[in-house]
């Protein structure tokens, strides 16, 4: 079922020859960061992750070097947050074009510095090379302090589905960059949910960050756990208001803020019914507000109240579309709008029956 | 003094804004891998390093995908060896060109797998992206098992200078790729000196790998420790024989096998006089043979017996040449030959005086 997704299948192919370390606690796809027991005579755990910023730069989505530096840190810190680890630091590998201006390098480094500051963490080291295009790779290390880590595995039908914040700003930012007017620019500077995630071990049954957008995240959780998700009726209230305003100004259905693959770097997590009060208490103590999105269901399908109905989303198709358009953003948006059109048609036929 | 080297100065500029983590044990430039204490309530140490393969691919030095995968692992494992750490695993970030053939991907992954096998380690995770050129980045994690790590700092005048093996195969390989004939190809598949390095903690006073060639390594150790190095008279016997044969067939002075920036990934290390016997005993027990190259001297300069004299090498100029030629290999070789010419001229003038 995982392999119905082009990206999963490709990763499977890439890694099929590799052996797993006996000291590694997670299997492939099972958590946002790798969980390793570093010392044989101790049960302490580390989290380790790597993520590069490549296509976002090449496609022109990230143009400000400060944002590029910021995101290099945040995408990796977000993976640490998703396993409940506290960051120890990050290594940054940079490929700089030979003609990259000095002031842009300074802004890039400032973005890295500011993001580390915002996360209370440090650049531990790195590597620099010169190449044809700007590419940044982070590799972050974290400590799992209570010897319990969060993973993508464990949600059960009946659990509540939550987010650490409102949704949609990642895709709204992409929309404003690619199809927007100058005045409609969306501020995008996500902060990894490291402190929020410290409330989750022992409370959340599964957790994953929305680095690829909400629907891709839920689709992956669905395939890994063989469960489904249904959104509550008021899901639109859980969208970031500026993002919703942008879609409505552009005549784009707001649910596509969940469907696009440019994420908001919130954590999506599930909580068993009997733990929901504990979550709320713990979050209140830590000064944050979990956003309730819906519920985990038995049947492995994802349902969203849309056009007066409970619509079954073809999330596999939505995810694979991103892989199939080869970076053609116009085509990507057109494909998503076609999927919306089909849903709308289906809904009106259903009503008229 | 460090900043007289273009690369050091650039790294200094890149990192000047960054704060150091209180859990990090090394300072910039002081060791091949970053040394971190991961848990506040334990004094156990981790080693962490990242290194990318970019220019080697872009310049056509590495063309076989198996070698590219192999080197991605080995350059990082070599950094772990240079601090005396035992590898826990590696994360691999890949940027693949959109049209990269499937069979090349398979060979790339096989190279990664085979190198991990040779080091007794594992791929823990990774990230894959698509871009304009093939780029591989590794990030390796190791455990410093006896709570003592090796660093680049600590050599004293009078110490012996050693290598874990014969020298020059990295530059001979580059020479055979760029200026050689097909029949003169040099086999290049370095293996990180992880097992050898386990003899070194407590014995070696300083250690660094020759990832940038022997002279760049000694130059950096000279600047960091404010000491010098002189090679023994029989240094040519410490060159890899096939590599020496190649240079002599091509009429290239064999000492340039030490000067070029494409390394052999041996460890260079220094040992106090009173520890040299211990080194030999320990190495014999572990079935390897340290290669004695010369001695640490008081004056910060690097001397090589050449053309009947003890030649003072301008190692700063030799290193900076690599930065200044902007990847033009022909020019690089020409510049190194000019440096040799000057030395030769100086030697003959000295003799005729």
Q: For residue range B62-111, list pLDDT tens digits in order.
A: 999 999 999 999 999 999 999 999 999 999 999 999 999 999 999 999 99
Instruction: Note the residue count of chain B.
Output: 353
Q: Is A349 exposed, middle or buried (0-12, 13-18, 19+ CB in 10 A)?
A: exposed
pLDDT band at B288 (very low <50, low <70, confident <90, very high): very high
pLDDT band at B138 (very low <50, low <70, confident <90, very high): very high
Backbone angles phi, psi at A212, to 5 degrees: -105, 20
B121–A14 C-beta distance less than 8 A: no
pLDDT band at A183 (very low <50, low <70, confident <90, very high): low
pLDDT band at B258 (very low <50, low <70, confident <90, very high): very high
Q: Are A184 and A242 in contact (CB under 8 A)?
A: no
pLDDT band at B43 (very low <50, low <70, confident <90, very high): confident
Mean pLDDT across chain A: 94
Other C-beta atoms within 10 Å of A3: how many?
Answer: 13
Q: Note the pLDDT of residue A218.
A: 98
Pairing, β A86-97 against β A123-131: parallel
Shortest Cα distance, chain B CAs vs residue A193, angstroms: 21
Alpha-carbon distance A236 to A215, whole Å?
14
A-contacting residues in B 292-351 (Cβ below 8 Å): 326-327
Q: Which residues of B touch A13 (CB under 8 A)?
A: 105
pLDDT band at A92 (very low <50, low <70, confident <90, very high): very high
DSSP B293-341: EEEEESSS-EEEEETTEEEEE-HHHHHHHHHHTTT-HHHHHHHHHHHHH
Q: Note the pLDDT of residue A181.
A: 66
Q: Indicate the pTM of the whole model.
A: 0.96
Model pLDDT for residues A127-141, shown as the tens digit of each residue:
999 999 999 999 999
The encoded tokens of residue A281 equal: 């208490």
Question: Given a cut of 90, is residue A41 above it in pLDDT?
Answer: no
The encoded tokens of residue A182 equal: 């100058």
Q: Are B165 and B193 in contact (CB under 8 A)?
A: yes
CA distances from B316 to B3, B68, B265, B294, B349 (A): 10, 29, 21, 20, 23
Average pLDDT rounded to a whole number, residues B261-266: 97
Q: Is the ipTM of this complex over 0.85?
A: yes
Coil, helix or strand at residue B132: coil
Alpha-carbon distance A12 to B101, whole Å?
17
The encoded tokens of residue B17 equal: 């804004």
Which region among A81-85, B7-11, B181-185 has the lowest average model confidence (pLDDT)?
B181-185
On the CB side of A176, CA atoms within 13 Å amount to 21
% of chain B exceeding 70 in pLDDT? 97
Residue A212: name the closest of A71, A345, A352, A322 by CA: A322
- Identify the bridge partners of residue B223 per DSSP, sorted by sequence position: none
Backbone angles phi, psi at A214, to 5 degrees: -70, -45
Model pLDDT for residues B318-346, shown as the tens digit of each residue:
999 999 998 899 999 999 999 999 999 98
Any chain A CB within 8 A of the CB of B76? Answer: no
Q: Are B14 and A105 in contact (CB under 8 A)?
A: yes
The encoded tokens of residue B124 equal: 């823990």
Q: Note the pLDDT of residue B347.
A: 83
Q: Is B320 exposed, middle or buried (0-12, 13-18, 19+ CB in 10 A)?
A: middle
Alpha-carbon distance A123 to A117, whole Å?
10
Q: Which residues of B touch A11 (CB under 8 A)?
A: 128
Question: Given a cut of 70, is residue B11 above it in pLDDT?
Answer: yes
Model pLDDT for residues A269-309, shown as the tens digit of each residue:
999 999 999 999 999 999 999 999 999 999 999 999 999 99
Model pLDDT for residues B179-202, shown as the tens digit of each residue:
866 666 899 999 999 999 999 999
Question: Given a cut of 90, is residue A231 above it in pLDDT?
Answer: yes
Any chain B CB within 8 A of the CB of A2? Answer: no
Q: Is B345 exposed, middle or buried (0-12, 13-18, 19+ CB in 10 A)?
A: exposed
Shortest Cα distance, chain B CAs vs residue A64, angstroms: 17
Q: Note the pLDDT of residue B351.
A: 63
Shortest Cα distance, chain A CAs vs residue B184, angstroms: 29
Model pLDDT for residues B162-179, shown as the tens digit of each residue:
999 999 999 999 999 988
Which structural domains are found in chain B, ordered by start? Answer: 16-144 (3.30.1330.10), 160-346 (3.90.650.10)
pLDDT band at B255 (very low <50, low <70, confident <90, very high): very high
The encoded tokens of residue B239 equal: 């060159």
Mean pLDDT across chain B: 94
Pick B146 or B170 by higher pLDDT. Answer: B170
A49–B44 C-beta distance less than 8 A: no
């Amino acid at each position: 079922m995982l392999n119905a997704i082009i990206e999963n299948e490709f990763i499977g192919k890439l890694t099929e020859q590799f052996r797993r370390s006996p000291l590694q606690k997670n299997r492939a796809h099972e958590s946002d960061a790798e969980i390793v027991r570093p010392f044989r005579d101790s049960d302490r755990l580390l989290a380790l992750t790597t993520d590069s910023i490549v296509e976002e730069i090449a496609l022109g989505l990230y143009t400000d070097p400060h944002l590029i530096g910021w995101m290099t840190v945040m995408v990796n810190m977000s993976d640490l947050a998703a396993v409940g680890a506290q960051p120890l630091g990050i290594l940054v590998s940079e490929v700089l074009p030979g003609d990259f201006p000095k002031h842009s390098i300074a802004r890039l480094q400032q973005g890295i510095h500011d993001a580390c500051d915002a996360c209370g963490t440090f650049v531990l080291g790195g590597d620099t090379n010169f190449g044809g295009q700007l590419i940044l790779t982070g590799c972050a290390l974290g400590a799992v302090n209570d010897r319990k880590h969060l993973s993508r595995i464990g949600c059960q039908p009946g659990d509540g589905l939550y987010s650490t914040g409102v949704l949609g700003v990642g895709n709204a930012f992409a929309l404003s960059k690619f199809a927007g007017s100058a005045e409609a620019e969306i501020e995008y500077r996500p902060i990894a949910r490291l402190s929020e995630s410290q409330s989750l071990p022992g409370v959340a049954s599964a957790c994953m960050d929305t680095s690829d957008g909400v629907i891709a995240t839920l689709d992956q959780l669905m395939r890994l756990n063989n469960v489904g998700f249904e959104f509550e009726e008021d899901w639109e209230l859980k969208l970031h208001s500026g993002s919703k305003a942008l879609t409505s100004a552009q005549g784009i259905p707001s649910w596509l803020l969940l469907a696009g693959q440019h994420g908001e770097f919130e954590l999506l997590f599930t909580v068993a019914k009997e733990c929901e009060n504990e979550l709320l208490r713990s979050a209140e103590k830590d000064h944050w507000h979990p956003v309730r999105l819906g519920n985990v269901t038995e049947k492995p399908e994802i349902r969203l109240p849309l056009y007066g109905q409970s619509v079954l989303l073809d999330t596999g198709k939505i995810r694979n579309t991103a892989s199939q358009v080869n970076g053609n953003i116009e085509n990507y948006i057109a494909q998503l709008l076609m999927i919306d059109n089909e849903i709308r048609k289906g809904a009106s036929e259903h009503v008229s029956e």
